[in-house]
C-alpha cells in the first residue's frame, strides 16, 4: 500500500529524469494527502476525508523556506534545474496558489535564474481563473490526462463527483498549447472494476483529445512505486514506446519515462 508523504514544505532536491535536479514544494498538509482525485496508483496513498481542520502552509511560510534553500544553493554554487510544485496531493488547491507562484518567480529570478518553475497538476482546478493565469506564467505547466473516456477517467482517477471529464478537457484546450500533458498508463482492477487505458479503443480516444488540446509535448510513464490499490500491472516499455510513436505521428513531441 502506497503511503509515501512529504513531511516538509520544501523537499529534495531529487534527481528526476523528467525535470533534472528538482527542488520540491509541498503546499499541502505534511501528514496526510489532500486532493480532488483518488487515483488508484498514487504514491501518497488514498485520499481520505479529513477529520480535522485542514492546515496549509501560509504564503509567508512558503516564501521564507524557499528563499532559505535557494539562497544557500546559490551561495554554494549548486544547480537546481526545476522548482517543482508537487507534494501530498493537488498543489493548485491552495487558496493562495497564485500568490505563491508570483513569490516563487521573484525568488527564482533573484537566486536561481536558470531554473524552471514546474507544476504537476491533475487539472481539476482549471475552472478558477487565478489558477489558470498563474499556470500561464510558469515554464513547465504539466497537467494530467490519464484517459480518453469518462468511464476510464472515473475508474483510474476516481475524481470528486462534480469534476466532469469533458469539462477538464475543455479547460486543457483553453491553454492553446501552452501546457505539457502527462499520462500514466496502467492496467488492473479495483472494487471489482477492471480498467486498462492501453486498449486500442482507449488510446484512440486519448489521441483524439491530444489532437484537440495540441500540447507542447506529452510525458508517458508507468507505475514505479507502491500503489494504494493492489494488483495493478506495470505497463511495459515496449507498449509505452508504441503509444509514443502514435503521438509523435500527430506532430507532438513525446517522452517515455
How far is it, in rounded angstroms, from Cα 244 to Cα 205?
15
Give pLDDT, residue 51.
61
Condensed to tens digits (0 to 9), the pLDDT of residues 41-63 reads 999 889 877 666 788 999 999 99
Residue 4 in any domain: the answer is no
Question: pLDDT above 90 covers what percent of the chain?
Answer: 87
How far is it, in rounded angstroms, from Cα 48 to Cα 242?
36
Would you say residue 2 has pLDDT above 60?
no
Residue 5 in any domain: the answer is no
Give pLDDT, residue 50.
62
Would you say residue 28 has pLDDT above 60?
yes
Under 8 Å CB-to-CB from 208, ≥6 apart: which residues?
A: 148
Closest CA to 171 of 120, 116, 122: 122
How far is it, in rounded angstroms, from Cα 181 to Cα 119?
12
Condensed to tens digits (0 to 9), the pLDDT of residues 210-243 reads 999 999 999 999 998 889 999 899 999 999 999 9
Residue 169 in any domain: the answer is yes
CATH number, domain containing residue 56: 3.20.20.70
Residue 3 in any domain: the answer is no
Give pLDDT, residue 1.
46
Give pLDDT, residue 177.
95
Question: pLDDT above 70 covers what percent of the chain?
Answer: 97
Please indicate whether residue 1 or residue 109 has the higher confidence score (pLDDT): 109
What range does the domain containing 81 cover?
10-256
Residue 2 in any domain: the answer is no
**Mean of pLDDT over the chain:** 94
Residue 106 in any domain: the answer is yes
Number of domains in the chain: 1
Condensed to tens digits (0 to 9), the pLDDT of residues 14-23 reads 998 889 999 9
Q: In the 8-state DSSP scheme, what is residue 50?
A: P
Under 8 Å CB-to-CB from 191, ≥6 apart: which residues?
A: none
Residue 1 in any domain: the answer is no
- The lowest-confidence range among 29-38, 77-86, 136-145, 190-199 is 29-38
Condensed to tens digits (0 to 9), the pLDDT of residues 158-213 reads 999 999 999 999 999 999 999 999 999 999 999 999 999 999 999 999 999 999 99
Condensed to tens digits (0 to 9), the pLDDT of residues 77-125 reads 999 999 999 989 999 999 999 999 999 999 999 999 999 999 999 999 9
Give pLDDT, residue 3.
57
Give pLDDT, residue 54.
83
Residue 181 in any domain: the answer is yes
Give pLDDT, residue 45.
86
Amino acid at each position: 500500500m502506497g503511503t509515501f508523504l512529504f513531511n516538509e514544505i520544501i523537499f529534495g532536491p531529487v534527481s528526476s529524469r523528467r525535470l533534472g535536479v528538482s527542488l520540491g514544494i509541498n503546499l499541502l498538509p505534511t501528514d496526510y494527502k489532500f486532493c480532488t482525485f483518488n487515483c488508484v496508483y498514487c504514491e501518497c496513498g488514498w485520499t481520505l476525508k479529513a477529520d480535522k481542520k485542514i492546515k496549509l502552509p501560509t504564503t509567508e511560510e512558503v516564501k521564507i523556506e524557499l528563499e532559505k534553500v535557494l539562497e544557500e544553493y546559490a551561495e554554494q554554487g549548486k544547480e537546481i534545474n526545476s522548482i517543482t510544485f508537487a507534494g501530498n496531493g493537488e498543489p493548485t488547491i491552495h487558496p493562495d496558489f497564485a500568490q505563491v507562484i508570483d513569490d516563487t518567480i521573484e525568488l527564482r529570478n533573484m537566486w536561481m535564474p536558470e531554473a524552471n518553475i514546474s507544476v504537476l497538476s491533475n487539472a481539476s482546478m482549471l475552472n478558477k481563473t487565478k489558477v489558470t493565469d498563474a499556470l500561464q506564467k510558469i515554464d513547465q505547466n504539466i497537467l494530467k490526462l490519464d484517459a480518453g473516456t469518462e468511464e476510464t477517467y472515473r475508474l483510474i482517477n476516481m475524481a470528486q463527483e462534480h469534476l466532469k471529464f469533458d469539462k477538464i478537457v475543455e479547460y486543457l484546450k483553453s491553454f492553446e498549447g501552452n501546457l505539457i500533458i502527462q499520462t500514466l498508463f496502467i492496467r488492473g482492477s479495483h472494487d471489482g472494476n477492471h480498467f486498462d487505458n492501453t486498449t486500442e479503443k482507449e488510446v484512440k480516444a486519448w489521441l483524439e483529445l491530444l489532437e484537440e488540446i495540441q500540447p507542447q509535448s506529452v510525458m508517458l510513464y508507468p507505475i514505479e512505486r507502491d500503489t494504494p490499490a493492489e494488483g495493478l500491472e506495470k505497463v511495459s516499455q515496449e507498449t509505452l514506446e508504441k503509444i509514443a510513436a502514435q503521438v509523435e505521428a500527430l506532430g507532438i513531441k513525446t517522452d517515455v519515462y
